Chains A and B, each alone.
Chain A
Amino acid sequence: MSEIAVLVEHRLGEIRDITFEMLAKANQLAEKSGYRTTAIMIGKGVEDLAGKLKGYCDRLLLVEDESMKFFVSDAYQKVLEDIVRERRPRLLLIGHTSYGLELAPSLAASLNIPLITGCTDITLDEGVEVVRPVYGGKLLARVEVNYPGTVILTLSQGVVKPFNPGKETEIIRKSVDVGEPGSKVFLEYVMPEESEVDISSADVIVAVGRGIQDKSNIPQAEELAKALGGVLACSRPIVDKGWLPQDRQVGSSGKTVKPKLYLALGISGAFQHIQGMKDSQLIIAVNKDPNAPIFNVAHYGVVEDLFRIVPVLIEKVREARGGG
């Protein structure tokens, strides 16, 4: 019970940012509490990649096997069950990512230990306490975990700044007893389709959310985007409804954008959406709900029905442009 373990997330030959974010959080917690940090890297042919973690942890457990060439949660789960039972870390941090959510809950079930997902902050002293967004990011919950053994936490992406504490990293190779091939098999990656419009390179983005109400209102927003010399993007619900293609989606499951102007129309600002646009240089949000979380990241806000603003704005923008 003297370590904080972090599962290294990597894909297609790259260590994903969340790994360094988790290690930063683990090192912060470890420094205060006297714990040591252990990174766990599972894969095949990843030794060179593992070298990039030097300095970021006290120990690196490297588990390699042909069956772990691709991420498949069953295989990872077996390895982690053994490691947790053997090493009994106080915390096991896993990314709040697609891989993490595939793995952490069934791992917690098989070990019969607590799990809290989507943490944006973690404190560790006698007990474990986390903060996480609830109700679509409208509230935060401070949650206490009362359990003396290992607790699994998934850490949200982009909430911790990575740093390299320059630790003396000891690399330990660990062999695994791989059982029968599991009942889940990785087949292939499906790459995103080539985009007609690359929203991530646009200087001006007009983005629509649920507030646009109907597919027939999309052209109005598109017109505004054109008037501003920009492109049209959207939040997840618009893609779900099939009103815009997926390559227009901003957020953690879509694209991350940093335009000079991000004009959000009828977007409430769910946590996943904000992740994808919060670093825009200028954010203006139009939403009739004064409590929409989008107003907590926007520089300017308009609390008004977007349909009352957009037509006038199109006109004014055209005037301004025409007047040169």
Chain B
Amino acid sequence: MDIVVCVKHVPQVSEAEVRVTSDGRDIDRSGLVFDINEWDDYALEEALRIREERGGTVTVITVGGEESDETLRKCLAKGADNAVRITDPRINLWNPMVVARVLAAAISKLQYDLILAGAQSSDDGYGAVGPALAGFLGIPHATIVKKVELRDGSVLVQRELEGGLEERLKIKLPALLSIQTGINEPRYVSIMGVRRAMRRPIKTMSLDELGLSPSEIEDESSWIMVKELYAPPVERRAEIIEGNPEEIASKIVEILKSRGIL
């Protein structure tokens, strides 16, 4: 089974301060740590497990600049066989349809039975590139997948709905699945893996090599323009309880007493 996994190199922001650049259109990248998008890590793990069980290859692919190689190397170190990066400054990464179109052009040149993507990326949070890619390739898909069972020529998936409800679908292969966190436990990178990854090439592809018209991609890119990034307006800013732990705990207890909770 040949599997393609779409990955993205993203800043880790869950515990970092995210500042906006002076033009208000981007984030200040200095001081931020970048890594593989969390959802994609689960997608890669799922792919590696399927390959370990059934054989085949795992190819990771990304759209982005040279800095994305760090994430591709990590994927290779975890056991991916091949890595591909599509790079062109005209690709607007904020337009999920353009990213999906470019990925579709590249993946249609590869051999694949299954494509896995993260259910969303932690930076833009669109959750759209995977299923849009399936749309461009004309293959069936399922999103927010929490369980994958391969059958001959098809795949049974369990996908998340809301409030703990899930549904089971049967999908013909080749198919694209967007993977939800928690589906498995992603492996760590081994020293041996890192060594192996250093020897493996990363293939880069341009729009020309993909047979895409740069002017069309530019035009489509311009559909979506981020005008401004800003901190969410604060509806209610928490009153900060200060002091040492002892004092803080006493104040919390007082608040709870005054509310009749204690």
Check if A and B associate: yes
Q: Which residues of A contact B (CB under 8 A)?
A: 11, 72-74, 97-99, 101-102, 104-110, 114-118, 129, 132-147, 182-192, 203-204, 210, 228, 236-237, 239-242, 246-247, 249, 252-256, 260-261, 268, 270-271, 281-285, 289, 291, 293, 295-304, 308-309, 312-313, 315-317, 319-321
Check A139–B253 contact: CB distance below 8 A: no
Is B83 in the interface zone, CB < 8 Å from A?
no
Is B75 in the interface zone, CB < 8 Å from A?
no
Rounded to whole angstroms, the CA-CA distance of A293 and B238 in the bound complex is 10
- B123 (CB) vs chain A CBs: closest residue: A135
- Please give, as numbers and ranges, the residues of chain A lying within 8 Å of B172 by CB-CB distance: 183-184
The residue from B122, B128, B222, B246 contacting A104, defined by CB atoms under 8 A apart: B128
Check B130–A144 contact: CB distance below 8 A: no
Rounded to whole angstroms, the CA-CA distance of A183 and B137 in the bound complex is 14
Q: Which residues of B contact A (CB under 8 A)?
A: 11, 13-15, 17-18, 20, 27, 94-97, 100-101, 119, 122-136, 139-144, 156, 158-172, 175, 181-182, 185, 222-232, 234-241, 245-246, 248-250, 252-253, 255-257, 259, 261-262
Check A115–B227 contact: CB distance below 8 A: no
Given the interface pairs A135-B27, A138-B13, the reply to whether A102 lies near B142 with Cβ below 8 Å is: yes
Closest 3 CB pairs of A and B: A109-B135, A240-B182, A106-B135
Check A145–B223 contact: CB distance below 8 A: yes
Given the interface pairs A106-B141, A146-B225, the reply to whether A252 lies near B167 with Cβ below 8 Å is: no
- Please give, as numbers and ranges, the residues of chain B lying within 8 Å of A105 by CB-CB distance: 96-97, 100, 127-132, 135
Check B168–A139 contact: CB distance below 8 A: no
B179 CB to closest chain A CB (Å) equals 12
- Please give, as numbers and ranges, the residues of chain B lying within 8 Å of A115 by CB-CB distance: 96-97, 128, 132
Check B241–A300 contact: CB distance below 8 A: yes
The residue from B14, B27, B159, B245 contacting A98, defined by CB atoms under 8 A apart: B159
The residue from B94, B225, B261 contacting A261, defined by CB atoms under 8 A apart: B261
- Please give, as numbers and ranges, the residues of chain B lying within 8 Å of A133 by CB-CB distance: 125, 232
Contact sample, A vs B, 15 pairs, CB 8 Å cutoff: A106-B134, A116-B126, A136-B125, A140-B230, A141-B226, A185-B170, A192-B164, A255-B164, A260-B259, A289-B17, A301-B238, A303-B240, A309-B245, A320-B256, A320-B257
Check A190–B248 contact: CB distance below 8 A: no
- Please give, as numbers and ranges, the residues of chain B lying within 8 Å of A188 by CB-CB distance: 167-168
The residue from B123, B131, B158, B261 contacting A101, defined by CB atoms under 8 A apart: B131
Q: How many A-B residue pairs have CB under 8 A?
A: 285
- A288 (CB) vs chain B CBs: closest residue: B15
The residue from B100, B167, B185 contacting A109, defined by CB atoms under 8 A apart: B100
- Please give, as numbers and ranges, the residues of chain A lying within 8 Å of B100 by CB-CB distance: 105, 109
- Please give, as numbers and ranges, the residues of chain B lying within 8 Å of A99 by CB-CB distance: 161
- Please give, as numbers and ranges, the residues of chain A lying within 8 Å of B185 by CB-CB distance: 241-242
- B232 (CB) vs chain A CBs: closest residue: A140
Question: For chain A, what secondary structure do more than half of its interface residues adopt (helix, strand, loop), or is it mixed?
Answer: mixed
Check B170–A184 contact: CB distance below 8 A: yes
Check B131–A296 contact: CB distance below 8 A: no
Check B135–A315 contact: CB distance below 8 A: no
Check B249–A114 contact: CB distance below 8 A: no
Check B223–A184 contact: CB distance below 8 A: no
Check A117–B239 contact: CB distance below 8 A: no
- Please give, as numbers and ranges, the residues of chain A lying within 8 Å of B128 by CB-CB distance: 101, 104-105, 108, 115, 117
Check B143–A136 contact: CB distance below 8 A: no
- A311 (CB) vs chain B CBs: closest residue: B245
Rounded to whole angstroms, the CA-CA distance of A240 and B107 in the bound complex is 30
Given the interface pairs A146-B225, A247-B164, the reply to whether A184 lies near B171 with Cβ below 8 Å is: yes
Check B224–A145 contact: CB distance below 8 A: yes
The residue from A102, A135, A189, A239 contacting B182, defined by CB atoms under 8 A apart: A239
- Please give, as numbers and ranges, the residues of chain A lying within 8 Å of B228 by CB-CB distance: 141-142
Check A189–B223 contact: CB distance below 8 A: no
- Please give, as numbers and ranges, the residues of chain A lying within 8 Å of B164 by CB-CB distance: 192, 246-247, 249, 253-255
- Please give, as numbers and ranges, the residues of chain B lying within 8 Å of A137 by CB-CB distance: 232
Rounded to whole angstroms, the CA-CA distance of A105 and B134 in the bound complex is 9
Check A139–B20 contact: CB distance below 8 A: yes
Rounded to whole angstroms, the CA-CA distance of A129 and B126 in the bound complex is 16
Rounded to whole angstroms, the CA-CA distance of A303 and B101 in the bound complex is 44
Rounded to whole angstroms, the CA-CA distance of A190 and B156 in the bound complex is 13
Check A134–B229 contact: CB distance below 8 A: yes
- A227 (CB) vs chain B CBs: closest residue: B262
The residue from B131, B229, B236 contacting A139, defined by CB atoms under 8 A apart: B229
Given A102-B143, A210-B15, A320-B253; 5 other pairs, CB 8 A cutoff: A135-B122, A140-B230, A141-B124, A144-B225, A295-B240
Check B241–A297 contact: CB distance below 8 A: no
Check B167–A189 contact: CB distance below 8 A: yes
Check A313–B140 contact: CB distance below 8 A: no
Given the interface pairs A101-B144, A296-B232, the reply to whether A147 lies near B167 with Cβ below 8 Å is: no
A314 CB to closest chain B CB (Å) equals 9
Rounded to whole angstroms, the CA-CA distance of A192 and B165 in the bound complex is 5
